[in-house]
Chain A
């Protein structure tokens, strides 16, 4: 496998890539003509169907990190990859039960709409915008650095060129086509990714009499029975549980995911969209598991590691072995499309926090007119695209894999507790919400900085002051406790009085 076409400019990859870009830009042009108001820009006018939104949610969530990263992890260590796959899926039922419908009924563009509904606007909007933008920034860094290295590996483009290309294409989608274009890019990407990964899995399984068990048995024969058993990933049980909490509740605090529930017409459609998303995403992770084992058996661990130490090229290499250069090109183009769709969703949700929460509600005190808000949203989009490109270049060559875990930990600690308490607890107050969100954001960042991930793995110290790699078990608990205690110490009768209207609208919807 030393003669892989990977990393050399690949004709098919470039052809597929251009087809994708041309098609998505055509969609953007079509969407741009339908994007005239702020609500069309941020929520596609709430005209997306439940099924479409289910696909778009899947497209927003299935990142290149989970496609290439999990396949690589399974290829190199077998069973352990499944722990991540399962963790990334179990957040979705939680989204369905706890946040999707109330969010749709109470809010307009951002999750801050829900938290701030019965509170004093300025402090809550600032705190949730900070929490939301922090999550978006860390997620963006991980995606942009991933995009740069991936495109370099796949197409042989220089890193900086790759980052700038991703940033500019994404900017065009969001700036001109807003949520309508972003939604369709995510739908197209979800179909390509699910279709491409399924096709690859079927071709692989065909070599094993269509039986995953025969494939797993072949892997166990080649690398020993430990590939089917838990390995290094779970050496510290408490760490595993803490990571599990971050994954399970972090999804309910990811601004770009929450924002998608405003694109459907009502709570019922929001509900059905999460059901579809859960189905697609679960299927995708089962397929990824098969691809990882397929790569271990058919490509081999050493050739995979020879190309990329992290093992991220397992799936593309598998495509080349079973389907030749053309299939490699297709899967590479799909991986690139995957990054574009996720980055577009992130940027749009960041722009909503900046223009709707900070400009509209804090600077203009809720009195910004439609034209102005749309203009500010577009300026914010450009700023975020420049920021994304800048961060991508600044963090070149850094180990940023932990940043996705960090984004989930902050989302689970900063955004989720305040969001949940604002919906279910009558006595939750402005100061309680602000204190909870501030505590969640700051404690998550501080404990990650003191964790073995930064102190040992990156800075090379012998030990770390904080023992856990993922802080969610501490920081999420802390955010709940602080939110509750502060609310009890200083009650806010106004917010309590307005709870009846929250409860009413949360279920009956805006009338």
Chain B
């Protein structure tokens, strides 16, 4: 009985470790996406001034359009993370938590 409990708890530990690693992978991938978008914008503005100043439509330059899009990307990546975390990640955490409680600890 005692051994069984031990192996169950070590299984939980490895499930938690897996979930934790997964969260960090998602977090780091999304951070990298945000960095890529923002520094891409900065480098375009710094090295491609003529491009950034060229007009897409009257009153709208590529620079303004892309700058506004960086803000939209920031909203979108944050949204993606929150949706992922609220559904997948929290559900797995709840499973782990109830397993811990069910164990009488």
Interface residues of A (CB under 8 A from B): 79, 82-83, 85-87, 89-90, 92-94, 96-98, 101, 212-218, 220, 225-226, 228-230, 234, 237, 240-241, 244, 248, 268, 271-272, 274-275, 278-279, 282, 285-286, 424, 500, 503-504, 506-508, 511
- Candidates A241, A503, A507; contact of B42 at CB < 8 Å: A241
* CB-CB under 8 A for A226 and B42, given A90-B34, A220-B59, A237-B47: no
In the assembled complex, the CB of A491 is this many whole angstroms from the nearest CB of chain B, namely 21
- Candidates B31, B42, B43, B53; contact of A229 at CB < 8 Å: B53
Q: What B residues does A82 contact at CB under 8 A?
A: 63-64, 67-68
User: Do B68 and A286 touch across chains, with their CB atoms under 8 A apart?
Assistant: yes
Q: What B residues does A212 contact at CB under 8 A?
A: 59
User: Do B70 and A86 touch across chains, with their CB atoms under 8 A apart?
Assistant: yes
In the assembled complex, the CB of B15 is this many whole angstroms from the nearest CB of chain A, namely 11
Q: What A residues does B81 contact at CB under 8 A?
A: 93, 96-97, 271
Interface residues of B (CB under 8 A from A): 13, 16-17, 19-20, 23-24, 26-28, 30-31, 34-35, 37-39, 41-43, 45-47, 49, 52-53, 55, 57-61, 63-64, 67-68, 70-72, 74-75, 77-79, 81-82, 85-86, 90, 93, 96-97, 100
- Candidates B19, B52, B55, B70; contact of A230 at CB < 8 Å: B52
A195–B93 Cα distance when bound, in Å, is 38
* CB-CB under 8 A for A279 and B75, given A228-B63, A503-B20: yes
User: Do A86 and B78 touch across chains, with their CB atoms under 8 A apart?
Assistant: no
In the assembled complex, the CB of B75 is this many whole angstroms from the nearest CB of chain A, namely 6
- Candidates A98, A237, A248, A279; contact of B38 at CB < 8 Å: A248
> 10 nearest interchain CB pairs?
A229-B53, A217-B59, A237-B46, A213-B59, A216-B59, A228-B61, A97-B27, A82-B67, A90-B38, A282-B71
User: Do B61 and A241 touch across chains, with their CB atoms under 8 A apart?
Assistant: no
Q: What B residues does A504 contact at CB under 8 A?
A: 16
* CB-CB under 8 A for A506 and B20, given A90-B74, A213-B59, A275-B79: yes
In the assembled complex, the CB of A138 is this many whole angstroms from the nearest CB of chain B, namely 24
Sample of 29 A–B contacts (CB below 8 Å): A79-B61, A82-B68, A85-B67, A86-B71, A87-B38, A89-B74, A92-B74, A92-B78, A94-B31, A213-B57, A213-B58, A220-B59, A228-B53, A228-B59, A230-B46, A230-B53, A240-B42, A244-B42, A248-B34, A268-B86, A271-B82, A271-B86, A275-B78, A275-B79, A285-B71, A503-B16, A503-B20, A507-B16, A507-B20
User: Do A94 and B71 touch across chains, with their CB atoms under 8 A apart?
Assistant: no
Which residue of the partner chain B has the closest CB to A225? Answer: B53
User: Do A89 and B71 touch across chains, with their CB atoms under 8 A apart?
Assistant: yes
Q: What A residues does B82 contact at CB under 8 A?
A: 96, 271-272, 275
A10–B59 Cα distance when bound, in Å, is 36
User: Do B46 and A240 touch across chains, with their CB atoms under 8 A apart?
Assistant: yes
User: Do A217 and B58 touch across chains, with their CB atoms under 8 A apart?
Assistant: yes
Q: What B residues does A278 contact at CB under 8 A?
A: 74-75, 78
- Candidates B28, B45, B86; contact of A240 at CB < 8 Å: B45
* CB-CB under 8 A for A282 and B74, given A86-B67, A228-B53, A230-B49: yes
Q: What A residues does B70 contact at CB under 8 A?
A: 86, 89-90
User: Do A507 and B19 touch across chains, with their CB atoms under 8 A apart?
Assistant: yes
- Candidates A79, A241, A274; contact of B63 at CB < 8 Å: A79
A194–B104 Cα distance when bound, in Å, is 49
User: Do B85 and A244 touch across chains, with their CB atoms under 8 A apart?
Assistant: no
* CB-CB under 8 A for A215 and B59, given A98-B31, A275-B78, A504-B16: yes
A118–B60 Cα distance when bound, in Å, is 52
User: Do B43 and A237 touch across chains, with their CB atoms under 8 A apart?
Assistant: yes
In the assembled complex, the CB of A229 is this many whole angstroms from the nearest CB of chain B, namely 3
- Candidates A214, A234, A508; contact of B45 at CB < 8 Å: A234
User: Do B49 and A98 touch across chains, with their CB atoms under 8 A apart?
Assistant: no
* CB-CB under 8 A for A507 and B85, given A83-B42, A94-B31, A286-B71: no
A507–B42 Cα distance when bound, in Å, is 34
* CB-CB under 8 A for A228 and B17, given A97-B27, A240-B46: no
A89–B64 Cα distance when bound, in Å, is 15
Q: What B residues does A220 contact at CB under 8 A?
A: 59
User: Do A83 and B67 touch across chains, with their CB atoms under 8 A apart?
Assistant: yes
* CB-CB under 8 A for A214 and B59, given A240-B46, A286-B68: yes
Q: What A residues does B58 contact at CB under 8 A?
A: 213, 217
In the assembled complex, the CB of A271 is this many whole angstroms from the nearest CB of chain B, namely 6
User: Do A229 and B30 touch across chains, with their CB atoms under 8 A apart?
Assistant: no
- Candidates A93, A217, A272; contact of B30 at CB < 8 Å: A93
**Apart from A90-B37, A93-B30, A93-B81: 17 A-B pairs, beta carbons within 8 A:** A82-B68, A86-B38, A86-B67, A93-B74, A98-B27, A213-B60, A216-B59, A217-B58, A217-B59, A218-B59, A228-B53, A228-B60, A228-B64, A237-B47, A240-B45, A500-B13, A511-B97
A225–B60 Cα distance when bound, in Å, is 10
User: Do A83 and B45 touch across chains, with their CB atoms under 8 A apart?
Assistant: yes
